[in-house]
Amino acid sequence: MSSPPSFPPPAVCTPAQLLATRDAFDSVAADYDGPRGNNALIQEMRREMWRWMDLTFAPGSRLLDLGCGTGLDAVRMARVGHRVIATDWSDQMVRRTTERAAQEQLTPRVAALVAGAHELHRLEGERTYDGAYSNLGPLNCVPDLEAMSRELFRLLKPGGSLVFTVIGRVCPWEIAHYLGRRKWARLRIRYARGFVPVGMNNHTVWTHYYAPREFYRAFKHDFALTHFRGLCLFAPPPYISWVHDRHPRWHERLWRLDRALAAWPVFRGLGDHFLIVMRRRR
Ligand SMILES: C[S@@+](CC[C@H](N)C(=O)[O-])C[C@H]1O[C@@H](n2cnc3c(N)ncnc32)[C@H](O)[C@@H]1O
């Protein structure tokens, strides 16, 4: 994702923009679990997400994956004993998830469904799921998070949990990266108020960046905030790979700092992404 936005940005995401985002992800689905969507640095973020999901969800949970992509998380969660309904707005991504689940003989435990996170009203049931998760930014593309929160309240059992990683606003590594290159427009993109166009594979992903508390506002009526922390605050974000490539030991140390310190006040509002855990109110 790289092209600068046009300012001022629109506050809402229109149906045409949602379709543009879907086309963008359809166009990269074939190779998204290669370097573009799952390089070594992204795999570290994924491991951190798995650690938090393992801490949060009880064994044998029934889970919803929002924006499952190629199904890497859904298949992993099924492998450790959960049952997952994996959903995504892109039918090409859902196809990849279905294929992966079949290849790994996990089809009974992973069911993949074309459904945007803004379309949860299409999912039947009340108090059906033990939890829901979303990894690496699908929720940055959802037009109305409050409406989504209401649907999740309907779908989750009382006490059910949400674990999300969301693209944040203030990423110190990114600030240094673009300041050094004097890319002012790119530097400002995360601070836009509404949805901004972000280029990917000659398509556009309409993206809303959030600070953690700004994001939580949409959920606070239905869900209590349990934990939030920066993700890739000390460790560099996935598109800044030189530390990992040239100084692997430093890279490991920076990840250790992330795990130890990124939940501290002030730090927890920073980072390429943030990780947030919430619990359904009764
Ligand atoms: C950066 S990828 C992350 C995929 C996956 N969660 C992972 O960890 O690899 C973002 C995903 O969000 C999906 N997405 C975009 N907008 C969405 C929406 N409104 N509802 C659900 N999924 C959406 C895309 O199709 C894509 O698969």
What average pLDDT does range 264-280 have in this prediction?
97
The whole-chain average pLDDT of the chain stands at 94
d(CA 196, CA 5): 6
Sign of CA dihedral 232, 238, 243, 245: positive
The SS3 call for residue 119 is helix
Q: Which of 7-11, 59-63, 179-183, 233-237 has the lowest mean pLDDT?
A: 7-11
65-118 pLDDT, tens digit each: 999 999 999 999 999 999 999 999 999 999 999 999 999 999 999 999 999 999
The pLDDT of residue 245 is above 90 = yes
The pLDDT of residue 6 is above 80 = no
What average pLDDT does range 248-264 have in this prediction?
97
The pLDDT of residue 7 is above 70 = no
What average pLDDT does range 189-205 have in this prediction?
95
pLDDT at position 10, please?
A: 55
**Dihedral of the alpha carbons of 139, 145, 147, 148, in degrees to the nearest 10:** 30
The pLDDT of residue 231 is above 90 = yes
- In this prediction, residue 11 has a pLDDT band, given cuts at 50, 70 and 90, of low
Supply 236's token pair: 């560099």
Tell me, in angstroms, the distance from the centre of ligand 1 to residue 65's CA.
10
Residue 84 forms beta bridges with which residues?
63, 110
The pLDDT of residue 3 is above 60 = no
The pLDDT of residue 267 is above 80 = yes
- In this prediction, residue 282 has a pLDDT band, given cuts at 50, 70 and 90, of confident
Ligand 1 is surrounded, with C-beta below 6 A, by 21, 25, 37, 66-69, 72-73, 88-90, 93, 116-118, 135-138, 141-142
CB 149 within 8 A of CB 222: yes
Share of the chain above pLDDT 90, in %: 91
pLDDT at position 1, please?
A: 47
d(CA 230, CA 168): 8
Tell me, in angstroms, the distance from the centre of ligand 1 to residue 12's CA.
18
- In this prediction, residue 2 has a pLDDT band, given cuts at 50, 70 and 90, of very low
129-163 pLDDT, tens digit each: 999 999 999 999 999 999 999 999 999 999 999 99
d(CA 46, CA 75): 13
CB 107 within 8 A of CB 97: no
1, 73, 93: residue to mutate for ligand 1 pocket, most atoms within 8 A of CB:
93
